[in-house]
Structure 1
């Protein structure tokens, strides 16, 4: 996330006093030392404000953020409590590591914490216009979110796309079989799978129908997904946290890089939207019906928006090209990296726990029996698989939920000022030892007789968020994750590559960032003989 990236930048420049920023921060350090010698101590609650660790001038508490931000914040919560204040540059942040105050933020006071705020990167990618992920709680946000749910993310629409998931997962299985007994990069395969399924759902049809065309299409989509996601998570702006140092964004080349990234992403999005408009202008909503090379993927979100816009649906008649582009980009940012990460972390934990992998494989294979393929209707009978995935999401929660207070408010007995950003650290909530038995261990059995679900109905387990901004794509993502993992566990046995020790997986699983590029997961598949039909 951005905070972790800034933390590393701060540490780098502190180690290099030759740079202008390094000199500035070194001066700040000297000021801090004088302050400490004069008796300065960590700021604690003098009444109603949450306690706070001591901070450096200018940069605030950035130096206390570790590479694994979730774990670093959890460590601070052990010292300062489940709610504590930080200042990241000039931005006040309240870190929440407990389920009860998290629910107060997202449910009890959701009208106050209904906005996420924006970053320099998000403003560039979304052209400073409305979107779903970062827009405030306004009419546009409600309209477009409702549209995405009704046109793409509802249970009925998710079910209608079952053949898309089956085709794309079958393609992934074929690729793995062609590399049998050689290590495969599951991180990369999961990312490609998630992006292919999402784009077919959003666009309504594969762009290319022959092998060459489809390959070029997938490469374009992957490039779009990677560039847009990295722009949000990796491009760190001083302007966002220390406005007085915003000129450094130009000096470091960030402004130029962000502008180039936004232009590239916009051009690719315009390309795919142009194609949808051309198809609609030919009165062929959903694709070329004369093309028998692939099954029709339905109208697709973009086609539905264009069709409703053409019909003058209230609220959509004024949608601009930028608005439509932003909706597609929202789907990419919300639906690719997080879904791929859920599959990756679950497979990594299974590789670390071979007895659990064996148990879930036995369940999957007993359900499938002698059948030569898996259908999504089979998944409902795989209860232990569902527990395995829930446990993977508990141990590797994909996000820190951020909400900005519109007015002052009391949370957990503490008074938070207007403008403060509440960070809900799901990693800490989902590993709270007062709630979870042996929280650092991968124990899917804990979910067998529990009522936890993904709807955020309790205070201890909500991997997809809480309240009105809960992820609307829960069904879309989980159906994909369950089917993909069931296929890999049914058709393959999995081993660590030669020379890779279990300790390497321990290190991988200790990381909290969901990016598939940070630490790829490589495992060796041992194909099972395909049952005769």
Structure 2
């Protein structure tokens, strides 16, 4: 009897012993695995975020300035959460070099953004397309057919003729004792230069510097591309948010009107190719001829995507640079006088400055560099996307991270620039730093595979325009305005413009 009770007691506590043993084993396994578990990724520092929206509320109306202020607290490499999108913000030359050069292949793709994707015909251009064999093919095509040194030289007469037209229009306005709206004039100038290069015709009537219907379409496109699109930060709800906010319908209308315009132009090109009136030197004609050659593989949508982005890049960016440069000259009379004297000493008895004179204008080139440093036209550059996991500055950057390079902040880096907020062209006097993408403390046109391919054409047009405005006119502020109260407010977008138009008084010089 006692033996039976002993067996019963043993079997009664067996489950308890088994449970305790298994629990002990589980604890030991957990401790072992915890020791073997790889360390958590070391991510870049980040400011506190809110639920759902993350750090979106910290962007403000001028994100390049807001992000610069945040970088002063959290460092030149920050990982924000904008909505549901992990976003790396780069604000120093060294880290810019890491992204644009050392790990360029890892960061050379583009995120799919609503407006850019739609207006580039599904990412078929060279600006918004993700990195792929298609992008490589289109970039090579644009480099050979549009941005080559030969093409830039071929368009020289166009640039010089349009600058003369601008001067004539300013002279007419000045003779009527009316102040000149240079913001409007510069946009018209660049629209006509770009339109002639792309389509072989001016966007405005001959001899006039006024805005056209197509200019209005492009302005609406730029506004949509540079505006806040909620769906770009919440991919899982992108379609719904774009519908609710009305972005989808605005894009559809804008895309339709531009597509119809481009279709009409391409149809005219197709009818005229081979005729006596068609010289075939404009970009649209070249692309149509390539399209007719089936071996090229060039589609009609690719042609329209290329023309669309080249017009935006050619007109909007350069006009903004011209406005900011003239604004800084008016705020710095001694710089204006020195640049003017240089131009007039080089031009001597010439009626106009020609492009062949530009390499003599050393100080004017320094003025342009300083304007590009202080007023980088695309302050955050176009966003990139990490194609793979990568390490920057000792931090892990996961694949799919969106990357913004704050070129505006880099141009104000106190470790590189002395008194960075001051307009001092002389800082470039004995400096080899230029804007061609190899000096990462100064990247107004970007760098790496995604650098702006039209630098040579843009700089030539800007310098030619500035030189002739300084040669032909003495400039002053309207009555009642002083250099101290010039409004420097910015209007944010893909390109940052002067919010209040630049209006000056021009006095023709004999």
Fold similarity call, TM over 0.5: yes
Which one of 166, 179, 187 corresponds to residue 172 of structure 1?
A: 166
Change (3 A) 1:201 1:237: same
Other-structure match for 2:181: 185
- Return the offset for 1:284: 5.0
Other-structure match for 1:72: 66
The DSSP-based 3-state class of the residue aligned with 2:405 is strand
Other-structure match for 2:230: 238
- Return the offset for 1:498: 2.0
Given that 1:69 and 1:512 are in contact with CA atoms closer than 8 Å, whether structure 2 keeps it comes out as no
Given that 2:54 and 2:80 are in contact with CA atoms closer than 8 Å, whether structure 1 keeps it comes out as yes
TM-score, length of structure 2 as denominator length: 0.87
Other-structure match for 2:347: 368
Other-structure match for 1:299: 281
Which one of 265, 275, 282 corresponds to residue 272 of structure 1?
A: 265
Other-structure match for 2:250: 257
Q: Does 1:341 align with 2:333?
A: no
Q: Does 1:219 align with 2:212?
A: yes
| Mapped partners of 2:205, 2:115: distance in 1 | 34
Q: Does 1:403 align with 2:384?
A: yes
1:252-285 CA-to-partner distances (Å, cap 9, x unmatched) read 3222111111111111121222222221154654
| Runs (5+) with no aligned partner, structure 2 | 1-39
Given that 1:391 and 1:443 are in contact with CA atoms closer than 8 Å, whether structure 2 keeps it comes out as yes
CA-based RMSD of the aligned residues comes to 2.3
Other-structure match for 1:197: 193
Between structure 1 and structure 2, the one with the greater Rg is 2
Q: Does 1:143 align with 2:142?
A: no
The DSSP-based 3-state class of the residue aligned with 1:85 is strand
Q: Does 1:447 align with 2:439?
A: no
Deviates more, 1:303-312 or 1:102-111: 303-312
Other-structure match for 2:419: 438
Q: Does 1:127 align with 2:108?
A: no
| Mapped partners of 1:305, 1:511: distance in 2 | 33
Q: Does 1:466 align with 2:466?
A: no
1:284-326 CA-to-partner distances (Å, cap 9, x unmatched) read 542xxxxxxxxxxx611111122233234x4x2x322211100
Given that 2:198 and 2:311 are in contact with CA atoms closer than 8 Å, whether structure 1 keeps it comes out as no
The DSSP-based 3-state class of the residue aligned with 1:153 is coil
Given that 1:168 and 1:197 are in contact with CA atoms closer than 8 Å, whether structure 2 keeps it comes out as yes
| Mapped partners of 2:360, 2:108: distance in 1 | 38
- Return the offset for 1:127: 2.9
Given that 2:188 and 2:209 are in contact with CA atoms closer than 8 Å, whether structure 1 keeps it comes out as no
- Return the offset for 1:352: 0.6
The DSSP-based 3-state class of the residue aligned with 1:499 is coil
Q: Does 1:393 align with 2:372?
A: yes
Given that 1:227 and 1:265 are in contact with CA atoms closer than 8 Å, whether structure 2 keeps it comes out as no
| Mapped partners of 1:486, 1:209: distance in 2 | 25
The DSSP-based 3-state class of the residue aligned with 1:457 is coil
Which one of 298, 307, 310 corresponds to residue 292 of structure 2?
A: 310
Given that 2:290 and 2:298 are in contact with CA atoms closer than 8 Å, whether structure 1 keeps it comes out as no
Other-structure match for 1:153: 147
- Return the offset for 1:251: 2.5
Change (3 A) 1:324 1:156: same
1:186-215 CA-to-partner distances (Å, cap 9, x unmatched) read 11111111111011111234478866xx88
Regions of 4+ moved over 4 Å: 206-211, 509-513
Given that 1:116 and 1:134 are in contact with CA atoms closer than 8 Å, whether structure 2 keeps it comes out as yes
The DSSP-based 3-state class of the residue aligned with 1:111 is helix
| Mapped partners of 1:225, 1:254: distance in 2 | 16
Change (3 A) 1:224 1:240: same
TM-score, length of structure 1 as denominator length: 0.83
The DSSP-based 3-state class of the residue aligned with 1:127 is coil
Which one of 55, 64, 67 corresponds to residue 49 of structure 2?
A: 55
The DSSP-based 3-state class of the residue aligned with 1:507 is coil
The DSSP-based 3-state class of the residue aligned with 2:87 is strand
- Return the offset for 1:430: 0.9
The DSSP-based 3-state class of the residue aligned with 1:249 is helix
| Mapped partners of 2:490, 2:298: distance in 1 | 43
Given that 2:152 and 2:456 are in contact with CA atoms closer than 8 Å, whether structure 1 keeps it comes out as yes
| Runs (5+) with no aligned partner, structure 1 | 1-45, 287-297
1:149-200 CA-to-partner distances (Å, cap 9, x unmatched) read 2122112211121111111111111111111142211111111111110111
Q: Does 1:95 align with 2:89?
A: yes
| Mapped partners of 2:293, 2:454: distance in 1 | 27
| Mapped partners of 1:64, 1:207: distance in 2 | 40
Equivalent residue pairs, number: 467
